[in-house]
């Protein structure tokens, strides 16, 4: 993975370098995880700006001034988050004023927006919140439509400094709405087109093997990265050039070729999520689903119901954790359980079929396995999981042999079963 990163910035023109600075004692002391830096790093990379360094400093003026000076010397762009709240220990804008030899002044646009923010929520503006409209006189005011602390844009000696609130939702909102377009206008950035192909049901190394010829044949200005996570591998195409439309067409052409090689593994593109893809199919085909879970213990139905609108196709599920419930509520034959055990093809088939009939749905899904860390045997070691999908014309069963932690085995079982459902819905071969 790491080797494949350097391609992102070929030397096609003068590269714009950025540094990211996050401010706050709570970051240094590990009381929060700094997710802002990652988000900004990814957003800048996506528009062709290279992040050279990231730093975090505490709520101390000397530290903030020092890092501003250093980062400004090295980079064309310095993005700073945090320290813009109304309390005493939030000192970022005072530091910026000092750094640029400027003074704080009441910004009327900022005052209007923050007043409006409070008015809409039926609250009156307090003195402490009014202070948020005082900004360094030398800054370009960047409105915050997601909270009360304004953003700021400074330029000095060819370097751009951007100051944003540390609340992730506010930072992301302002970046997306205003800063990224402004940066694309300000700098002569390379034209970059990213396209993500989402695959499931195949490991990274095997995937790399079967698409090796396709990858080798990619033109030099289109690069491929593998981004693996639990059960999924995202393939990211990064296309460099001068013409956005041309790059989009080229990426689509490559995807067309890729789809011929691995049609069964691709479930979506860019922001598509597996559950959204499934939901769309279920709604289109007017099909309903129910679940009978043993080892996944409710996680599968949680995945269904976490999506808004799921009540249109998800009827319900049974977590049949004990054998008694498998037998008495779900109606699995006592003889099946006695003869083959709960973790068996015979039991899982009955579970899927019975939940489908009991809850009167088109499709019944079931899981039964040994999530671990204990409970395994020589014949059925930890990680042995049976999954099944029952429909009007039969039931499909599959045995998994997983090797993760308890929670990973639960998540993997549920995700692999969801992929089975996806394949069933688009009439792919299930085996």
Our finding on whether 133 is near a second copy (CB under 8 A) is: no
CB of 38 to a second copy, least distance (A): 4
List the interface residues with a second copy, window 231-290 (CB under 8 A).
none
Our finding on whether 341 is near a second copy (CB under 8 A) is: no
Per CB under 8 A, which region of 86-94, 120-128, 192-200, 267-275 contacts a second copy? 86-94
Closest CA to 418 of 391, 387, 397: 387
CB 315 within 8 A of CB 357: no
Interacting residue with a second copy among 16, 54, 77, 277 (CB under 8 A): 54
Our finding on whether 297 is near a second copy (CB under 8 A) is: yes
CB of 110 to a second copy, least distance (A): 22
Long-range contacts made by residues 35-43, C-beta under 8 angstroms, separation at least 24? 35/168, 36/81, 36/82, 36/166, 36/168, 36/171, 39/168, 39/171, 39/172, 39/175, 40/79, 40/81, 40/171, 40/175, 43/175, 43/176, 43/180
Interacting residue with a second copy among 106, 128, 210, 407 (CB under 8 A): 407
Query: How do beta strands 266-269 and 191-200 pair?
Result: antiparallel
Interacting residue with a second copy among 16, 48, 56, 364 (CB under 8 A): 56
Per CB under 8 A, which region of 184-192, 206-214, 272-280, 302-310 contacts a second copy? 302-310
* Complex with a second copy: residue 139 or 289, whichever CB lies closer: 289
List the interface residues with a second copy, window 346-385 (CB under 8 A).
358-360, 372-374
Report the SS3 class of residue 376: coil
Per CB under 8 A, which region of 101-109, 132-140, 142-150, 294-302 contacts a second copy? 294-302
List the interface residues with a second copy, window 145-174 (CB under 8 A).
none
Interacting residue with a second copy among 11, 88, 121, 286 (CB under 8 A): 88
Interacting residue with a second copy among 139, 192, 300, 390 (CB under 8 A): 300
* Complex with a second copy: residue 139 or 149, whichever CB lies closer: 149
Our finding on whether 226 is near a second copy (CB under 8 A) is: no
* Complex with a second copy: residue 58 or 143, whichever CB lies closer: 58
DSSP per residue, 168-231: HHHHHHHIIIIIHHHHHHHS-PPEEEEEEEEEESS-HHHHHHHTHHHHHTS-TTEEEEEEEETT
Our finding on whether 27 is near a second copy (CB under 8 A) is: yes
Compute the distance between CA of residue 380 and CA of residue 219 in angstroms, rounded to an integer. 48
Compute the distance between CA of residue 283 and CA of residue 287 in angstroms, rounded to an integer. 7
Our finding on whether 38 is near a second copy (CB under 8 A) is: yes
The number of angstroms, rounded, from the C-alpha of 423 to the middle of its chain's C-alpha atoms is: 23
Six-digit token pair at 277?
A: 């893809």
Our finding on whether 310 is near a second copy (CB under 8 A) is: yes
CB of 17 to a second copy, least distance (A): 11
* Complex with a second copy: residue 264 or 305, whichever CB lies closer: 305
Per CB under 8 A, which region of 58-66, 109-117, 119-127, 248-256 contacts a second copy? 58-66
Our finding on whether 43 is near a second copy (CB under 8 A) is: yes
Our finding on whether 93 is near a second copy (CB under 8 A) is: no
Six-digit token pair at 325?
A: 């419930």
Residue 234, beta-bridge partner list? 198, 227
Report the SS3 class of residue 79: strand
Interacting residue with a second copy among 107, 132, 254, 291 (CB under 8 A): 291
Closest CA to 431 of 384, 398, 388: 398
Compute the distance between CA of residue 292 and CA of residue 358 in angstroms, rounded to an integer. 10
Q: Which helix (H) or strand (E) holds 80?
A: strand 77-81
Number of residues that bind a second copy (CB under 8 A): 80
């Amino acid at each position: 993975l790491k080797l494949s990163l350097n391609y992102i910035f070929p030397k096609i023109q003068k590269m714009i370098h950025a540094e990211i600075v996050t401010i706050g004692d709570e970051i240094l002391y590990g009381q929060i995880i700094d997710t802002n830096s990652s988000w900004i790093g990814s957003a800048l990379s996506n528009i062709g700006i290279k992040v050279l360094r990231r730093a975090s400093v505490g709520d101390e003026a000397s530290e903030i001034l020092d890092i501003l000076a250093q980062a400004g010397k090295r980079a064309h762009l310095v993005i700073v988050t945090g320290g813009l709240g109304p309390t005493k220990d939030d000192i970022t804008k005072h530091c910026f004023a000092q750094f640029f030899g400027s003074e704080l002044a009441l910004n009327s646009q900022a005052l209007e927006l923050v007043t409006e923010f409070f008015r809409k929520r039926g609250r009156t503006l307090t003195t402490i919140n009014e202070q948020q409209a005082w900004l360094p006189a030398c800054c370009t005011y960047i409105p915050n439509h997601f909270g009360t602390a304004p953003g700021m844009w400074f330029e000095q000696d060819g370097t751009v400094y951007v100051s944003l609130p540390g609340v992730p939702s506010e930072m992301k909102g302002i970046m997306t709405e205003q800063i990224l377009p402004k940066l694309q206008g300000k700098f002569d950035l390379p034209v970059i087109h990213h396209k993500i192909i989402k695959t499931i049901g195949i490991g990274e190394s095997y995937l790399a093997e079967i698409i090796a010829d396709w990858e080798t044949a990619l033109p030099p200005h289109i690069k491929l990265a593998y981004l693996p996570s639990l059960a999924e591998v995202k393939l990211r195409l990064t296309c460099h050039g001068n013409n956005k439309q041309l790059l989009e067409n080229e990426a689509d052409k490559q995807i067309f070729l890729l789809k011929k090689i691995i049609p069964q593994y691709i479930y979506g593109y860019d922001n598509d999520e597996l559950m959204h893809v499934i939901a769309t199919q279920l709604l289109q085909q007017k099909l309903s689903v129910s679940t009978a879970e043993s080892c996944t213990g409710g996680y599968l139905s949680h995945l269904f119901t976490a999506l808004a609108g799921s009540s249109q196709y998800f009827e319900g599920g049974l977590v049949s954790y004990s054998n008694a419930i498998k037998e008495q509520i779900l109606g699995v034959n006592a003889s099946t359980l006695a003869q083959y055990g709960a973790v068996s093809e015979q039991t899982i088939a009955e579970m899927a079929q019975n939940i489908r009939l009991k809850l009167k749905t088109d499709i019944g899904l079931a899981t039964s396995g040994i999530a671990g860390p204990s409970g395994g045997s020589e014949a059925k070691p930890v990680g042995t999981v049976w999954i099944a999908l029952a429909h009007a014309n039969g039931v499909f069963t599959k045995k998994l042999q997983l090797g993760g932690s308890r929670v990973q085995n639960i998540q993997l079982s549920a995700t692999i079963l969801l992929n089975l459902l996806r394949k069933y819905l688009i009439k792919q071969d299930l085996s």
